[in-house]
Structure 1
Amino acid sequence: MTAPIQIMAPDLAAEVRSWLAHLAGERRLAGHTLEAYERDVRQLCGFLTEHLGAPPAIADLAGLETRDVRAFFARRRMGGASTRTVGRGLAGVRSFVTYLEKKELLSADAVRLVSAPKTSKRLPRPVGIPDARAMLEAAGDHEEPWIAARDAAILTLLYGAGLRIAEALSLPRSDAPTDPAIALRVTGKGGRVRLVPVLPAIAEATTAYLGLVPFHLEPDDQLFRGAKGGPLSPRIVQRTVAHLRGALGLPDSATPHALRHAFATHLLAAGGDLRAIQELLGHASLSTTQGYTQVDTAHLLESYAKAHPRA
């Protein structure tokens, strides 16, 4: 990814490229995160270009004051950006100026002193147990048997192992979860590796898919294939789930990621340990996993309100 030269001077553009390469290589950030961070810095440079009358250089970033940074994010808010988007944008800009600070090219104080806007935390929106089961059963209705088996195997992994779509689709053939006795090795965000137990239902669904897939798969090949044999796109999985939503009359919140949420919420409701669930999900912070306790409490209160005669 190369930042547009017209909105930044050559020295700054070179540092942007170096920063992105650092994030991709050493920090191993996901591609969409790199794109978002690059976009944040590009928008800041566009803002500065308007005010300076010329593309900003490193020296211009070094001369930024806190009020300049606040003015930029105020412009973003006026343009319709949500507080969540602005907060993420601040994280991207902070990452870049901190990178430049470590290279002793400037001080990051002007950006560091800007507080991220407060956002209300959105609770995970899992599907219920009956809906999750219905989605897994209906996934096997495709007219092409091997595609039906593929879709069923993927959704079973999302719900039965709590995988993200990207994690499921990046599994190599050599790591196909076909044996309940062997834990599944999953590489998640930031390159963090975790081990997840393989339920018999996962092993059965994956084995059924491998018995029907019409393409030869080398050990290093991506396990799940598209209709023409290429790597399967996340959009296909999302489209499949959207079709299931319509067929089953489920709400828009019934997404592939909602199956991962359901995995955590249903484990917690059954008495699962929060730390263990954190490990299974691959969350870096326990606070992220704690969001599921709020979901469980909300469900409990809703059930109480519906069932208690004095509610």
Structure 2
Amino acid sequence: MSASLPKVELHLHLEGAAPPAFIRGLAAEKKIDISGIFDERGNYAYRDFWHFLTVYEAATAVLTTPEDYHRLTLAVLEESAASGVVYSEAFISPDFCGGRDLSAWRDYLHAIREAADLAERRHSIVLRGIVTPIRHFGPDKAKEAALCAAETAGDWLVGFGLAGDEKSGKPKDFAWSFDAAREAGLRLTCHAGEWGGPDSVRAAIRDLRVERIGHGVRAIEDLALVDEIAEAGIVLELCPGSNVALGLYKDYRSHPIDRLRERGVRVTVSTDDPPFFHTTMALEYDRLAEAFDWDDGVFHEIAKTSAEAAFCTFKTREKILKRLEKTDA
């Protein structure tokens, strides 16, 4: 049922969406031993969020050429399309794509865009990119990533964000990078309120002036902040399966997505790093329907909110909204 509903995903890490078999195959081709990051069933294995970051970066280490990212993008978009995703925004980092060298970054970006165009022809899924420096790599490297973003901003590269270890530094440490991205015309989001509490969300909104927050679930611990988010129209990129898999909440019923929605917050649903968390967009819909008794009308509303919050051009957004309306009977 849920796979047939058209979906819009706003919070997806390109490398984190790599199927384990894809990474194992690429490692074997290159004779790189990364067997330690998988369990006996061949799935990614990690103990907690911080170990997850280590495993993530180990998996990403086998992606060393633009061609690797071309193949990765095709694999990821095929998986997303199978879940009914019609539009996706993926976090892409110059840290992993060419070491923040602008010339190399352009080559990686070209390969990713070529794959995205091919996937759109094959699977009718549209991809756009959000440049995302890695928070725990520090503000100076984020500045280099922001310069890469500013030089390549346009109709395809549409946003700028910040990911990684939320406990590393403060949002204001990255204000220069966000200002540079904003001046280049990029729309802004930031991971916050996952491992940091409500104050991390408040700081991201205040110091980086973002219009979306990645995760943001811990805002529920401060209802005054929830009301501020709702009143400002700030969109939360919620990833319930990720939060449950990493132990932030014990199960879907405990997740605050329904409470946030009922309090007027504009909520969206995404998978974050789907193979790491044993999820897909179709599974997210199924599990949320079971947990909160949501019907197709609720999911259509969430998909529409997601399309309206997308960082793409007006023309692209109108096309996506029309695809959603076809199932609005």
Give TM-score scaled by structure 1 length. Answer: 0.32
Larger radius of gyration: 1
Higher strand share: 2
Instruction: Give TM-score scaled by structure 2 length.
Output: 0.31
Higher relative contact order (CA 8 A, sep 6+): 2
